[in-house]
């Protein structure tokens, strides 16, 4: 027994403070995401906080037909447990989708179907991260990933970003210094969360070469990859270096999050170990969601569905950028995303965006302050604005409110 436990009073009826008995990892907090999600429903608030897909993109009609059909004709599979790796049909569907969108086909045996992208990250932590292990991430990066790494006891180091994605020269310098190399490098190369930035082709090649040389496994998160507004996407890191990269994907942004479905594709031994870890979590992703997804892929619905989603998000991104140009003070800067859900705004030095978030809430506009996206206190004057879930007219109004808060002169009506 832990000696600290001897000092605790035996819990009597209604008197125990159970929080004193929490494991260390549960006392690390992790409420950042919960706070973001809780703002979503606040009445009257224009919510640029959560990275939520637009419900207008959900393929309700197609899914209604698929579900009725699946339950009637394939209920014994669609309503049952599945193998831990996923149904054979789901693994083939993911392989088909990856081939269609990335030009290289993974062996379905190297595909693991997960309960969303976040589970894939947790499984990777379970497989690779012991307390004290180093993990490198982009600075800033996706909050859910930061929380997963930290809760696993990782020492997380942030590598800066440039306008062309992760700063590969800084990564190079980091890997050359004395001290243990990170076990994992987590990157979101396309339309990144939270910055909206995309890693250049040159950067992609340099990054995978560097990591291969230093024995660092690259974790490539492709959550927003298929949501580029125009032009061909750049090659995925996994397609460039399948032995050095494990790719994790999610259907949350490109289909809908209601089924909590994602995937991992990577070196055989890594995927096998993740599948083994999954036996100790949920054992398998839900069969109904898997069958909906594979029927959606097999039915050839994805290309038109993605095209419509890209158009919708492109219009929202354009509305946000135009609104920022109208409403922000001159010393404020922001990214101009070519895809995905986010604009990343940098206010003048000295602006405290945590305090600003509280004022903004009173004005009926919500965003996420920048600091939690970093591991080292950077980002105090930055904010993430998600345009994905807000119609254009509301985007304009929300950005106007934000501009007033940041002290811009009132734009002409
Ligand atoms: C970069 C990135 N990866 C993964 C996820 C998690 O996706 P899922 O809903 O599938 O867990 C998100 C969600 O916001 C994300 O932004």
Domain boundaries, the chain: 31-58+304-405, 74-300
pLDDT of residue 40: 54
Residue of the CA atom closest to atom 5 of ligand 1: 117
Whether ligand 1 lies within 6 angstroms of the CB of 257 is answered as yes
pLDDT greater than 80 at residue 276: yes
Select the CATH number that applies to the domain covering 74-300 from these four: 3.30.1490.390, 3.40.640.10, 3.40.50.300, 3.40.50.620: 3.40.640.10
Question: If you average pLDDT over residues 121-145, what whole number do you get?
Answer: 97
pLDDT of residue 190: 98
% of residues, the chain, pLDDT over 90: 85
pLDDT greater than 90 at residue 20: no
The tally of CA atoms less than 13 A away on the side-chain side of residue 23 is 5
CATH code for 31-58+304-405? 3.90.1150.10
Residue of the CA atom closest to atom 3 of ligand 1: 223
Whether ligand 1 lies within 6 angstroms of the CB of 296 is answered as no
Instruction: Check residues 361 and 127 and name the one with the higher pLDDT.
Output: 127
Judge contact between 139 and 156, C-beta under 8 A. Answer: no
Closest atom of ligand 1 relative to the 250 alpha carbon: 10
Taking the C-alpha atoms of residue 134 and residue 121, their distance in angstroms, rounded to an integer, is 15
Q: Which among 405, 408, 411 has a CA at the least distance from the CA of 46?
A: 405
Taking the C-alpha atoms of residue 364 and residue 48, their distance in angstroms, rounded to an integer, is 11
Judge contact between 250 and 116, C-beta under 8 A. Answer: yes
Measured in Å, residue 223 CA sits from the centre of ligand 1 at: 6
Taking the C-alpha atoms of residue 371 and residue 94, their distance in angstroms, rounded to an integer, is 35
* Burial of residue 94, with CB atoms counted within 10 A of its CB: 0-12 exposed, 13-18 middle, 19 or more buried: buried
Judge contact between 405 and 367, C-beta under 8 A. Answer: no
Dihedral class, residue 8 (left if φ above 0, else alpha if ψ from -120 to 50, else beta): beta
Using one digit for the tens of pLDDT, what is the confidence trace for 285-303? Answer: 999 999 999 999 999 999 9
Using one digit for the tens of pLDDT, what is the confidence trace for 183-229? Answer: 999 999 999 999 999 999 999 999 999 999 999 999 999 999 999 99
What is the model's pTM? 0.93
**Least confident span in 16-30, 300-314, 317-331:** 16-30
- Among 123, 145, 249, 252, the mutation site with the greatest number of ligand 1 atoms within 8 A of its Cβ is 252
pLDDT of residue 16: 83
Using one digit for the tens of pLDDT, what is the confidence trace for 344-399? Answer: 999 999 999 999 998 998 899 999 999 999 999 899 999 999 999 999 999 999 99
Residue of the CA atom closest to atom 14 of ligand 1: 51
pLDDT greater than 50 at residue 1: no
Whether ligand 1 lies within 6 angstroms of the CB of 250 is answered as yes
Q: 245: which strand partners?
A: 218
Closest atom of ligand 1 relative to the 260 alpha carbon: 10
Whether ligand 1 lies within 6 angstroms of the CB of 144 is answered as yes
What integer best gives the mean pLDDT of the chain?
A: 92
Of the pLDDT bands very low, low, confident and very high (cuts 50, 70, 90), residue 29 is: low
pLDDT of residue 4: 46
Measured in Å, residue 108 CA sits from the centre of ligand 1 at: 22
Measured in Å, residue 120 CA sits from the centre of ligand 1 at: 10
pLDDT of residue 12: 60
Measured in Å, residue 262 CA sits from the centre of ligand 1 at: 9
Rg of the chain over all Cα atoms, to the nearest angstrom: 22
**Least confident span in 24-33, 122-131, 361-370:** 24-33
pLDDT greater than 80 at residue 252: yes
pLDDT greater than 90 at residue 42: no
Measured in Å, residue 207 CA sits from the centre of ligand 1 at: 22
pLDDT of residue 3: 47
Between β-strands 365-366 and 46-47, what pairing exists: parallel, antiparallel or unpaired?
parallel
Of the pLDDT bands very low, low, confident and very high (cuts 50, 70, 90), residue 7 is: low
Of the pLDDT bands very low, low, confident and very high (cuts 50, 70, 90), residue 339 is: very high
pLDDT of residue 412: 47
Question: If you average pLDDT over residues 262-282, what whole number do you get?
Answer: 97
The DSSP annotation for 148-161 comes to HHHHTT-EEEEEEE
Question: Which range is most confident: 10-24, 25-39, 244-258?
Answer: 244-258
Question: If you average pLDDT over residues 244-265, what whole number do you get?
Answer: 97
% of residues, the chain, pLDDT over 70: 92
pLDDT greater than 70 at residue 409: no
Measured in Å, residue 165 CA sits from the centre of ligand 1 at: 18
């Amino acid at each position: 027994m832990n000696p600290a436990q001897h000092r605790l009073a035996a819990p009597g009826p209604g008197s125990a403070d159970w929080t004193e008995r929490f494991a260390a990892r549960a006392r690390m907090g992790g409420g950042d995401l919960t706070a973001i999600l809780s703002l979503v429903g606040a009445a009257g608030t224009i919510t640029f906080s959560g990275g939520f897909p637009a419900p207008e993109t959900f393929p309700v009609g197609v899914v209604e037909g698929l579900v009725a059909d699946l339950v009637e004709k394939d209920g014994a599979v669609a309503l049952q447990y599945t193998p831990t790796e996923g149904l054979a049909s789901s693994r083939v569907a993911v392989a088909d989708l990856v081939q269609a969108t990335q030009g290289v086909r993974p062996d379905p045996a190297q595909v693991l179907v997960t309960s969303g992208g976040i589970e894939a990250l947790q499984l990777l932590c379970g497989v690779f991260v012991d307390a004290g292990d180093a993990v490198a991430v982009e600075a800033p990066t996706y909050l859910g990933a930061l929380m997963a790494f930290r809760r696993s006891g990782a020492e997380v180091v942030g590598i800066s970003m440039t306008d062309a994605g992760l700063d590969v020269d800084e990564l190079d310098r980091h890997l050359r210094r004395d001290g243990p190399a990170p076990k994992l490098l987590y990157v979101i190369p396309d339309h990144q969360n939270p910055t909206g930035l995309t890693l250049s082709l040159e950067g992609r090649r340099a990054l995978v070469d560097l990591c291969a040389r230093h024995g660092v496994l690259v974790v490539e998160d492709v959550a927003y990859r298929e949501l580029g507004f125009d032009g061909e996407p750049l090659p995925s890191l996994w397609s460039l270096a399948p032995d050095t990269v494990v790719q994790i994907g999610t259907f949350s942004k490109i289909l809908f999050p209601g089924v909590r479905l994602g995937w991992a594709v990577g070196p055989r031994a890594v995927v096998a170990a993740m599948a083994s870890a999954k036996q100790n979590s949920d054992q398998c992703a839900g069969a109904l969601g898997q069958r909906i997804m594979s029927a959606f892929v097999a039915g050839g619905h994805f290309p038109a569905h993605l095209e419509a989603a890209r158009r919708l998000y492109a219009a929202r991104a354009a509305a946000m950028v135009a609104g920022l140009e109208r409403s922000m003070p001159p010393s404020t800067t922001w990214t101009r995303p070519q895809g995905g859900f986010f604009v990343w705004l940098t206010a003048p030095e000295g602006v405290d965006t945590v305090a600003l978030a509280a004022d903004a809430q009173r004005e009926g506009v919500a965003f996420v302050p920048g600091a939690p996206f970093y591991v080292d206190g950077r980002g105090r004057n930055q904010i993430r604005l998600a345009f994905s879930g807000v119609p254009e007219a509301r985007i304009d109004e929300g950005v106007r409110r934000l501009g007033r808060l940041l002290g811009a002169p009132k734009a002409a009506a």
